[in-house]
Amino acid sequence: MRVGVIGLGRMGANIARRLMRGGHDIVGFDHDAATTAALAAEGATAAQSIDALVATMTPPRVFWVMLPAGQPTENTIQALISLSGSGDIIIDGGNSFYKDDIRRAKLCASNNLHYVDVGTSGGVPGLERGYCMMIGGDESTISHLEPVFETLAPGLGALNRTSGRNGPNNRVESGYIHAGPAGAGHFVKMVHNGIEYGLMQAYAEGFDILKGRASEKLPPEERYPIDVADVAEVWRRGSVISSWLLDICASALIDDPHLEKYSGSVSDSGEGQWTIDAAMEEAVPAHVLSAALFARYRSRRETTYSDKLLSAMRFGFGGHTETPQ
Amino acid sequence: MRVGVIGLGRMGANIARRLMRGGHDIVGFDHDAATTAALAAEGATAAQSIDALVATMTPPRVFWVMLPAGQPTENTIQALISLSGSGDIIIDGGNSFYKDDIRRAKLCASNNLHYVDVGTSGGVPGLERGYCMMIGGDESTISHLEPVFETLAPGLGALNRTSGRNGPNNRVESGYIHAGPAGAGHFVKMVHNGIEYGLMQAYAEGFDILKGRASEKLPPEERYPIDVADVAEVWRRGSVISSWLLDICASALIDDPHLEKYSGSVSDSGEGQWTIDAAMEEAVPAHVLSAALFARYRSRRETTYSDKLLSAMRFGFGGHTETPQ
Amino acid sequence: MRVGVIGLGRMGANIARRLMRGGHDIVGFDHDAATTAALAAEGATAAQSIDALVATMTPPRVFWVMLPAGQPTENTIQALISLSGSGDIIIDGGNSFYKDDIRRAKLCASNNLHYVDVGTSGGVPGLERGYCMMIGGDESTISHLEPVFETLAPGLGALNRTSGRNGPNNRVESGYIHAGPAGAGHFVKMVHNGIEYGLMQAYAEGFDILKGRASEKLPPEERYPIDVADVAEVWRRGSVISSWLLDICASALIDDPHLEKYSGSVSDSGEGQWTIDAAMEEAVPAHVLSAALFARYRSRRETTYSDKLLSAMRFGFGGHTETPQ
Amino acid sequence: MRVGVIGLGRMGANIARRLMRGGHDIVGFDHDAATTAALAAEGATAAQSIDALVATMTPPRVFWVMLPAGQPTENTIQALISLSGSGDIIIDGGNSFYKDDIRRAKLCASNNLHYVDVGTSGGVPGLERGYCMMIGGDESTISHLEPVFETLAPGLGALNRTSGRNGPNNRVESGYIHAGPAGAGHFVKMVHNGIEYGLMQAYAEGFDILKGRASEKLPPEERYPIDVADVAEVWRRGSVISSWLLDICASALIDDPHLEKYSGSVSDSGEGQWTIDAAMEEAVPAHVLSAALFARYRSRRETTYSDKLLSAMRFGFGGHTETPQ
């Protein structure tokens, strides 16, 4: 299938590559001309603009937009809507907010276009491992795109089949899901990222406790200078907490057990925040997912006004002055 | 009543002063001779050692120990036990762990001594306002000490009587409580401090959110450069969240609204930790009290191993590098 | 000043009463005719509809809307906009979302009307104690309304002046604040309620820990059957955690120490949720305020899908079956 | 190697079986005679008492104790110490508190016995998959036991080698680690379980949010009736959050997507609590691990005193009565 890929950054370029490897025909555009040229050297057709990309293709066209959520994605989709012809399909493969999908899908429908939102997980290794895709939109459009999803998805691979699953394999066992109508794909991806933050924070706190066990403030016999790289490795082997994130910890820690190359300033994309919003809309308690998000906020600040006000109160009632710990 | 006060720091000296003002006779000892001398200048009898203090007094003696919890208190109480005579009373007015009280009370009982644990709240202003005291031990001993507690407590003051309380005023309306047997005083004080951490953190987070509303990252019309000192002041006046801690915030913020004189490194004494221990022993959820404690831990560290591991994982699966925020 | 009060529920009727006591002239309307009549019996002019209320008054009119946030308030304000004349003032005294205020203030301005948002704290006792008011809008309009705010506010009262405040008393010391432009009043009130949830949860957890200390699962010598009503009372007296909320606990606990008349299903109004939204927009960690909100969500459910999935996982890897505790 | 296994419950019996399959010689004892007989039928030597078990073996004996932590383990180990001869090895394979290991190891050393603590992860599937073992004690003893650990561990299996690991494979890549001196094995296992609680809670909250998206309280276009079993399955396939726990969720949800057979009352063993204790001893923030633990406490209670006190306060200041949600 011919697919126009717009946005050839880390994720977009790999999506394009995996599609080409699977025999699809890619027209690529990135606002950085060198990036576009680089993909062309690997076999894609280069487009110098969105207009040119649309003009190069014939209806019904398939566009895969892979840009940062917010203005970059919004502007591109608006441009595509104005340039597209009846029956064209616009896929937002980025990390858009699901309520934006709902709005855009309506707009597309009123222009006889099809809108599909795809949450894409798998990171950089996805090029080789395949991508887990969570998809929202109309079934007929998604069926039409099935060859694209089949190529991008990991497929059955070597994983054991889930006990309790019988009958022929279906999409979800290949690694993609039609989660529901417009926005449902990004909604499921959003919760996926919310969970991801929680999982990461659970490991991070655990390793912090292991590392802290060498502290000289502890009684000598209760001090353990634990080899955290070895612990991460052993936990990969038959333990209840084995996971792909743990594999990544094991690799990071064997390289640099003190993690000295990191300052510990941790970004968050919007999904963590939107997950908490969704939880609050549903009145679902989300203690762990929110705590994981707040830990990231805190990691990016040297101190907080909050901390200082605690110090000020302690001085106010107890005459306590701050002392180094 | 003659009371031997051991430990004449910020709290101990004020306890001694308030007792002297109430007509009690104080023998004071501090391991810092100048501190002891200073109190002597205000009318106390100075003792140069614990031995001397004990020798100066006649049975049944009353000792008020006001030292940091842990080894300083433990050593002093052990010394007093070895020096005391039958019927003497040892009061631990500090912030001891209640399980230490249980142990010490048994030891005292087996030496025909009486042990009383007193959790003392009120901070530096307690000298003028009086102290709220939470007391554990035998009723007969506590009755014997009643003149001491009456002097130290705030008394009825100008507070409205709690609706639903009838009959003659009792101890708790004067500001002291016999909470239960040995350790119960410090247990109640411990929970008091656990709550204190939670209250402080609630105000601190709220003011952080107010302060953060001036951020240039927000849409201009949603930015408010809020005068936090004025907000603290107005909240004292008829709002549901008025409190003594808020009074202290109001005073701190009028002085220094940006809290520039604080680095935001916030200590915790043991009580916050013990409160969480107690909650876990009882299987009581303590989300807020624990979060308040952990925020203090975090405030004392520039970064954490936990934060760095998050960065390492993000690099591992997504190729994300840390970027300044 | 003549004020049209729309919405005569618990809060609105008391606002009207306190204004009448202060010599203001009230026109009242409630969609429940009996409620309107009841206030008329106390001296207000009754209006049978919003139209009638507007018609009864002469420009520049002052409307105080005191209705539940969301549709009831929105509909009423839209109606007032369509009925009002140039220079009229619409006050939203309820708990609206501050972004709604920003939108409405623009709409009012384009109709030559003035919009003022007032966050009102004080609850039922506010009728006697006065209300703490957080106000957003234009200074000229707020100045014009000053007699209304002066009447409603608690005034200086018997509170000690905040140390560090000098010079003549100002609005905030009387209990109302001009917090900023449109929405700022409700924004400050929203954070006030966020803090309120945190404070309440801190006390609640602490008393739960005290109550749980009588558990028969604990070693006998570590069990304390603590009188929680007495503890609440004694903490009012000179302790660091004294507050108005604690006064309320003391009164509730003397009545019903086991709180048997409550099922423990705790509502939340929107402000807790919006406070977390605001914190996330600003990337401010809000561990305590969010935990307090989530505890309320949890209180309203017998069990959660989350809990059940934990049980299912435990069964899956460990063969653990649920056992009564 | 001949190993005496004491405690033949779910975990102990499987440990014995896997050892027998690996050619080891098992003497088994369980206080339930039928359980002991069952294992004997599979090839173990049955002992009718601990005394008999010790008598059956010849020095240097190896005992593997697999009993619930606390009194059952303590009593058995004390019995073994009194019955053992110089050079015998006592392995505690259960979930003991690491400080108990430190104490017991000292006691064993003073009796010329060797004490080894082994944290064992892998659950019921460990019989086939092998067990991840975290070991504390002296290297010479652990070396002596290497054939036992090699048999129980999963071995290299089909897992990809961690990038960055070179040279010959070592113990940790086979699935066991000598983590440090006495107690270090159980310490690492304890943190493992702490992390496990955090991971489980992150998934649980995420699926709760997915499930809650079908709520009729949401605007119709934002409602998604998500097939959670399919989502769990697709996330196994190439997503960042794939893990063994997710595999278990996928299996549980395909069976029973509404989880109707669970009441949602979730137990915790001691490790979650001890992990928080360890974090507090080290002043490490553990927001997520503690929240996961508290969620379990809450799951076991219909309501809490805490919730009721919130209701009581709301009634006290606002006249709010509880309403069904």
Instruction: Using CB atoms, pick whichever of B266, B306, B312 lies closest to residue A310.
Output: B266
3-state secondary structure of A150: helix
Inform me whether the pLDDT recorded for B325 exceeds 80.
no
For residue range C207-256, what is the model confidence (pLDDT) as tens digits? 999 999 999 999 999 999 999 999 999 999 999 999 999 999 999 999 89
Pair of tokens at residue D187: 């310490």
For residue range A33-45, what is the model confidence (pLDDT) as tens digits? 999 999 999 999 9
Q: A117: which residues sit within 8 A by CB, 6+ positions away?
A: A91, A92, A96, A98, A101, A105, A135, A136, A137, A182, A183, A184, A185, A186
What pLDDT is attached to residue D322?
A: 83
For residue C325, name the pLDDT band (cuts at 50, 70, 90): very low
DSSP lists the bridge partners of residue A135 as: A118, A178
For residue D323, name the pLDDT band (cuts at 50, 70, 90): low
For residue range C264-282, what is the model confidence (pLDDT) as tens digits? 999 998 999 999 999 999 9
Instruction: Using CB atoms, pick whichever of B283, B286, B297 lies closest to residue D285.
Output: B297
Chain B contact partners (≥3 CB pairs within 8 A): A, C, D
For residue range A65-124, what is the model confidence (pLDDT) as tens digits? 999 999 999 999 999 999 999 999 999 999 999 999 999 999 999 999 999 999 999 988
For residue A250, name the pLDDT band (cuts at 50, 70, 90): very high
Contact yes or no for B85/B57 (Cβ under 8 A): no
Q: How far is CA A105 from the centre of its chain?
A: 21
Percent of chain C with pLDDT over 70: 99
Chain B hits for C99, Cβ within 8 Å: 222
Contact yes or no for B16/B23 (Cβ under 8 A): no
Chain A hits for B325, Cβ within 8 Å: 265, 267, 300
DSSP lists the bridge partners of residue C135 as: C118, C178
What pLDDT is attached to residue A318?
A: 87
CA pair distance D124, D127, nearest whole angstrom: 6
Q: Work out the angle at residue B206's Cα, subtended by the Cα atoms of residues C266 and B196, and round it to the nearest 5 degrees.
A: 75
CA pair distance C206, B288, nearest whole angstrom: 10
Chain B hits for A288, Cβ within 8 Å: none
For residue D325, name the pLDDT band (cuts at 50, 70, 90): very low
The strands making up A114-121's β-sheet, listed across from edge to edge, are A45-46, A25-29, A2-6, A62-65, A89-92, A114-121, A132-136, A176-180
**Phi–psi pair at D183, nearest 5 degrees:** 95, -25
Inform me whether the pLDDT recorded for D195 exceeds 70.
yes
For residue range D29-49, what is the model confidence (pLDDT) as tens digits? 999 999 999 999 999 999 999
- DSSP, res B263: -
Inform me whether the pLDDT recorded for A212 exceeds 60.
yes
CA pair distance B122, B296, nearest whole angstrom: 21
Q: B150-153: which pairs have CB atoms within 8 A and are 24 or more residues apart?
A: B150/B22, B150/B174, B151/B18, B151/B19, B151/B21, B151/B22, B151/B23, B151/B24, B152/B15, B152/B18, B152/B19, B152/B22, B152/B120, B152/B176, B153/C237, B153/C238
Q: How far is CA B54 from the centre of its chain?
A: 27
Q: Taking all residues of chain C, what is their mean pLDDT, rounded to a whole number?
A: 96
Distances (CA, A) of C248 to A107, B124, B161, C241, C259: 53, 26, 11, 13, 13
DSSP calls for D277-290: HHHHHHT---HHHH
User: What residue ranges in B88-175 does DSSP mark as E strands?
Assistant: 89-92, 114-121, 132-136
For residue C323, name the pLDDT band (cuts at 50, 70, 90): low
Active site residue B322: no
Nearest to C288 by CA among C210, C194, C172: C194
H or E element, residue D119: strand D114-121
Question: Which stretches of chain A sit within 8 Å of chain C by CB?
Answer: 240, 273, 276-277, 280, 283-287, 290-291, 293-295, 297-298, 300, 304, 306, 317
Structural domain boundaries in chain B = 2-161+171-180, 189-304
What pLDDT is attached to residue C321?
A: 86
Active site residue B261: no
- D189-304, superfamily in CATH? N-(1-d-carboxylethyl)-l-norvaline Dehydrogenase; domain 2 (1.10.1040.10)
Inform me whether the pLDDT recorded for B93 exceeds 80.
yes
Q: How many CB atoms lie within 10 A of CB C321?
A: 11
Across B167-194, average pLDDT: 96
Across B106-135, average pLDDT: 95
For residue C168, name the pLDDT band (cuts at 50, 70, 90): confident
**Phi–psi pair at C77, nearest 5 degrees:** -65, -40
CB contact under 8 A, A306 and C284: yes
Pair of tokens at residue C176: 């109302």
CATH number for the domain whose boundaries are C2-161+171-180: 3.40.50.720
Q: D interface mutation test: which of C213, C309, C323, C325 has the most D CBs within 10 A?
A: C309
For residue range A295-319, what is the model confidence (pLDDT) as tens digits? 999 999 999 999 999 999 999 998 8
For residue range D75-86, what is the model confidence (pLDDT) as tens digits? 999 999 999 999
Distances (CA, A) of B151 to A29, B21, B154: 82, 9, 8
CA pair distance B291, B295, nearest whole angstrom: 6
For residue range D296-316, what is the model confidence (pLDDT) as tens digits? 999 999 999 999 999 999 999
Catalytic residue among B189, B205, B221, B282: B189
Across A176-200, average pLDDT: 98
For residue range D156-192, what is the model confidence (pLDDT) as tens digits? 988 999 999 998 889 999 999 999 999 999 999 999 9
What pLDDT is attached to residue C318?
A: 87
- DSSP, res A300: T
Nearest to C263 by CA among D311, D128, D223, D103: D311
Please name the residue that has the structure tokens 């079993």. D229
Helices D228-235 and D244-255 meet at what angle, rounded to 10? 150
Put simply, whether the predicted model's pTM sits higher than 0.90 gets the answer yes
For residue C87, name the pLDDT band (cuts at 50, 70, 90): very high
Least confident residue range of B221-235, C68-82, C156-170, C251-265: C156-170
For residue A249, name the pLDDT band (cuts at 50, 70, 90): very high
Q: D58: which residues sit within 8 A by CB, 6+ positions away?
A: none
CB contact under 8 A, A188 and D210: yes
In terms of C-beta density within 10 A (0-12 exposed, 13-18 middle, 19 or more buried), how is residue D70 classed? middle
Inform me whether the pLDDT recorded for D111 exceeds 90.
yes
How many helices (H) and strands (E) chain C has is answered by: 15, 8
Contact yes or no for A26/A6 (Cβ under 8 A): no
For residue range B29-72, what is the model confidence (pLDDT) as tens digits? 999 999 999 999 999 999 999 999 999 999 999 999 999 999 99
Helices D184-212 and A287-299 meet at what angle, rounded to 10? 110
Percent of chain B with pLDDT over 70: 99
Instruction: Using CB atoms, pick whichever of C201, C278, C282 lies closest to residue B288.
Output: C201
